[in-house]
């Protein structure tokens, strides 16, 4: 499989994921009538279904990472060539931004915008550590052919049991900065989330090494 095709798979998959996250957030917020619990539930279900499908579709091409934290851990485990890591991360970040822009456009919002939704604090950062550690542990422990349902189910659950609603993905943070909607995150909040996610990814990989 050529590197270009792998990069395209990562770009398309991440774009699809962010389009689903942001788009379902917009739709949910419009239809929920101010009920944030209903909005979050709708956002969760759309994300779970989209994530399952996208992993199934793109896994044969690129491994369906859609997540720089996952790609970094795979490179550290020498399951992803070091020279490929940068290409994957660039494709994921570009895809995340394009996915958010597409969602904005579909709902007749300004395509080019930045989120003003501040997120942060020790509780939410700890939530991102937990969410990302769990995600990496699920990925590393998933039996062959079972990653899609396990990852989708875990992320769906983590939307609700973590204080941060489980971004668990630096590309998701990057993409959500470009939509000032229900799923958005202000650029000023991004660094704390990404730092917590990288700590979580390293923790998940370490836990896997200890228990395997």
Query: Distance between CA atoms of 182 and 44, rounded to whole angstroms?
Result: 12
Mean pLDDT of 1-25: 96
Q: Where are the alpha helices (DSSP H) in 162-186?
A: 170-176
**How wide is the angle at C-alpha 122 spanned by C-alphas 118 and 126, nearest 5°?**
105
Lowest mean pLDDT of 10-14, 22-26, 30-34, name the range: 30-34
pLDDT tens-digit readout, 77-129 = 999 998 999 999 999 999 999 999 999 999 999 999 999 999 999 999 999 99
| Fold of the CATH domain 3-211 | Glycerol uptake facilitator protein (1.20.1080)
- Round to whole Å and give the CA distance between 158 and 139: 14
Average pLDDT over residues 153-172: 98
Q: What is the pTM of this model?
A: 0.95
pLDDT at 40 over 80: yes
Give whole-number Cα distances, 55 to 10, 47, 64, 146, 152, in Å. Answer: 10, 12, 5, 10, 9
What is the rounded average pLDDT of the residues 12-36? 97
The 3-state DSSP class for residue 94 equals helix
Token reading at 198: 């990288």
| Predicted confidence (pLDDT) per residue in 163-206, tens digit | 999 999 999 999 999 999 999 999 999 999 999 999 999 999 99
pLDDT at 212: 85
**Mean of pLDDT values over 20-47:** 96
Query: What pLDDT, on the 0 to 100 scale, is given for residue 1?
Result: 67
With beta carbons less than 8 A apart as the criterion, state whether 152 and 48 touch.
yes
Neighbours of 160 (CB within 10 A): 12
Q: Which SS3 state, helix, strand or coil, does residue 39 take?
A: helix
What pLDDT, in 10s, does the model give residues 118-128?
Answer: 999 999 999 99
The torsion angle over the Cα atoms of residues 70, 87, 6 and 144, rounded to 10 degrees, is -20
- Helix 82-106 crosses helix 3-31 at what angle (to 10 degrees)? 30
Question: What tokens appear for 32 in the block?
Answer: 């929920």
pLDDT over 70 at 48, yes or no: yes
Measured N-to-C along each axis, helices 68-76 and 122-141 cross at an angle, to the nearest 10 degrees, of 50
- Model pLDDT for residues 4-15, shown as the tens digit of each residue: 999 999 999 999
Average pLDDT over residues 67-78: 97
Q: Say yes or no to pLDDT of 59 above 90.
A: yes
Is 80 exceeded by the pLDDT of residue 52? yes
């Amino acid at each position: 499989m050529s590197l270009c095709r792998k990069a395209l798979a990562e770009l398309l998959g991440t774009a699809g994921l962010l389009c689903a996250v942001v788009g379902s957030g917009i739709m949910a917020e419009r239809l929920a009538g101010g009920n944030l619990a209903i909005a979050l539930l709708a956002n969760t279900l759309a994300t779970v279904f989209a994530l399952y499908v996208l992993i199934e579709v793109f896994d044969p091409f690129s491994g369906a990472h859609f997540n720089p934290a996952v790609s970094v851990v795979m490179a550290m485990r020498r399951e992803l060539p070091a020279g490929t890591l940068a290409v994957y991360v660039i494709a994921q970040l570009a895809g995340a931004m394009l996915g958010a822009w597409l969602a904005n456009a579909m709902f007749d919002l300004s395509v080019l915008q930045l989120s003003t939704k501040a997120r942060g604090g020790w509780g939410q950062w700890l939530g991102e550590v937990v969410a990302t550690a769990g995600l990496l542990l699920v990925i590393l422990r998933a039996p062959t052919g079972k990653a899609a349902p396990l990852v989708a189910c875990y992320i769906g659950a983590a939307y609700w049991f973590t204080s941060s609603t489980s971004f668990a993905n630096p590309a998701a943070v990057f993409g959500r900065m470009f939509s000032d909607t229900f799923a958005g995150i202000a650029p000023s909040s991004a660094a704390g989330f990404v730092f917590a996610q990288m700590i979580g990814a390293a923790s998940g990989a370490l836990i896997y090494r200890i228990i395997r």
